[in-house]
Homo-oligomer: A and B are copies of this chain.
Amino acid sequence: MPDPGPNPPAPPTIRPPHVVIVGGGFAGLAAAKRLKHAPVRVTLVDQRNHHLFQPLLYQVATAALSPAQIAAPIRAVLSKQKNADVVLAEARRVDSPRRVLETDRGEIPYDYLILATGATHSYFGHDDWSRTARGLKTIDDALEIRRRFLLAFEAAENEPGDARRRALMTFVIIGAGPTGVETAGAIAEIARTVIRRDFRHIDTSRARVVLVEALDRVLPAGFPRQLSDRALADLRAMGVEVRLSTRVTHVAPDDSDNAAPHVLLSSPSQPAPERVDAHNIIWAAGVRASPLGASLGVPTDNAGRVIVAPDLSIPGHPEVFVTGDLSRCAWKDSMVPGVCPAAVQMGDHAARNIARLVAHAPSQPFRYVDKGSLATIGRAKAVASISGMKFGGLSAWLLWAVVHVFYLISFRNRVVVMLDWALAYLFFKRGSRLITGERGGASPTPSATPPGA
């Protein structure tokens, strides 16, 4: 096909300033929405077509929710915002002197830029661990974890070897932040209740769930110690083995002939490293900022976060803003935390500053409003820290449910979400227990058992 050539030059009218937002997560979407009535053109660039409600991703990984229940096409979210364009492309580099974003689909010039590409996993220099210890950041991550976890029970059901069966039914979750705590709680719960009667030869309630944390408490960031203790007690009551002050020193892949996949755990209280064989290892530990920030050529911290000015812009470029998990923004004695409400506030603030600059007004410094912290541990178990109040149990869980449904409304119908959840709660079933993926349902580790013999 002949090259159609470049677009014809635009007619010589005065076009409104072009704001390019990179990333359709909480920060990027908040920024785009804030600019709905501003005299600008907005282009939102993302490599995926959907916004993801990441706080519930562990529910997809544990087969409670379907991907479509926690994600929405970015186009659909912005379909009524006539000044917003959505481009499915992978951003590669910012050329800030030329004011151009380079993507895999070509260059996009900008007048103002908001970077909101977030963070990915950090394996602390052990990137080879990623194959065995899958992280949980995207829908594909969640579906792969779900696939492995369902296949492990299937394989255990027909496994005659005790050691191997134990390894198939062992789950190691590395990192006891909210994602790790919630995932460990959900796995313990599903193994002890929902799927128990589906199997004939194994007792799924004997699945072993090990939660490993390098610091001396669960939920070490953003939660008061009192709630960490409460969450710890809840997890232990659910049968989760919580290992505090314990580091993972090695993650070994499945070496089908000799050894099951395993982790080595090291703690001051144990003289020698402990080996835990587990076919399901989930990485919920370090994060590292997206590499796009580094292309700005301004200082970053050791996690790759861009150090921003109080108004969220970067040094020397008042037209470039960095928000959400990609930014490092000082706040009081510490920094703005990497949580959803902070990302929303930062995206919104960057957009307001752009609207001010367009109107020839000065930008304003960002002020973070701490909305509190919430983590759920299981059915009717959660911990909450809101405006100095700390509580756990059913009331925290109800608050958690209300807050999450309320936020989900921004892209899904609130009625549908509430019905989905109410039914899931009442019937206590897991609706999404499907093993999909091109390899179909073939067992990851076929063994020479005569099943049903």
Using a CB–CB cutoff of 8 Å, the interface residues on chain A facing chain B are 1, 3-7, 18, 20, 43, 45-50, 66-69, 71, 73, 75-76, 79-80, 85-90, 103-109, 138-140, 143, 150-151, 154, 157-158, 160-164, 195, 197-200, 258-260, 412-413, 415-416, 419-420, 423, 427, 429, 431-438, 440-443, 446-453
The contact of A107 among B6, B437, B453, by CB within 8 Å, is B453
The contact of A6 among B160, B197, B437, by CB within 8 Å, is B160
28 A-B pairs within 8 Å (CB atoms) are namely A3-B161, A3-B448, A6-B160, A7-B160, A7-B450, A45-B451, A48-B441, A66-B66, A66-B68, A67-B436, A68-B431, A71-B434, A73-B198, A73-B434, A85-B451, A85-B452, A87-B157, A87-B452, A88-B157, A88-B435, A89-B443, A104-B446, A106-B448, A106-B451, A139-B436, A140-B436, A412-B431, A419-B419
Complex Cα distance A88/B435, Å? 11
Q: Are B450 and A88 in contact (CB under 8 A)?
A: no
Q: Are A434 and B140 in contact (CB under 8 A)?
A: no
Complex Cα distance A197/B80, Å? 8
Listed from nearest, the 5 A-B pairs whose CB atoms lie closest are: A4-B161, A75-B198, A43-B452, A48-B441, A68-B432
A151 / chain B contacts, CB cutoff of 8 Å = 88
A49 / chain B contacts, CB cutoff of 8 Å = 150, 154, 433-435, 441
A106 / chain B contacts, CB cutoff of 8 Å = 447-451, 453
Complex Cα distance A65/B443, Å? 27
A107 / chain B contacts, CB cutoff of 8 Å = 450, 453
Complex Cα distance A67/B435, Å? 10
Complex Cα distance A200/B88, Å? 13
A1 / chain B contacts, CB cutoff of 8 Å = 161, 163-164, 258-260
CB distance from A166 to the nearest CB of B (A): 11
A163 / chain B contacts, CB cutoff of 8 Å = 1, 4
Complex Cα distance A20/B450, Å? 13
Contacts A43-B452, A443-B105, A451-B43; A68 near B197 (Cβ below 8 A): no
Q: Are B158 and A87 in contact (CB under 8 A)?
A: yes
Closest Cβ neighbor of A162 among chain B residues: B4
Complex Cα distance A427/B89, Å? 29
Q: Are B108 and A435 in contact (CB under 8 A)?
A: no
A6 / chain B contacts, CB cutoff of 8 Å = 160, 450
The contact of A447 among B45, B105, B198, by CB within 8 Å, is B105
Complex Cα distance A198/B82, Å? 10
Beyond the given A49-B154, A87-B451, please list 18 additional residue pairs across the A-B interface where CB-CB is below 8 A.
A6-B450, A18-B452, A45-B451, A47-B442, A49-B433, A71-B434, A73-B198, A73-B433, A76-B429, A88-B435, A88-B443, A89-B158, A89-B443, A105-B448, A105-B449, A108-B452, A109-B450, A139-B436
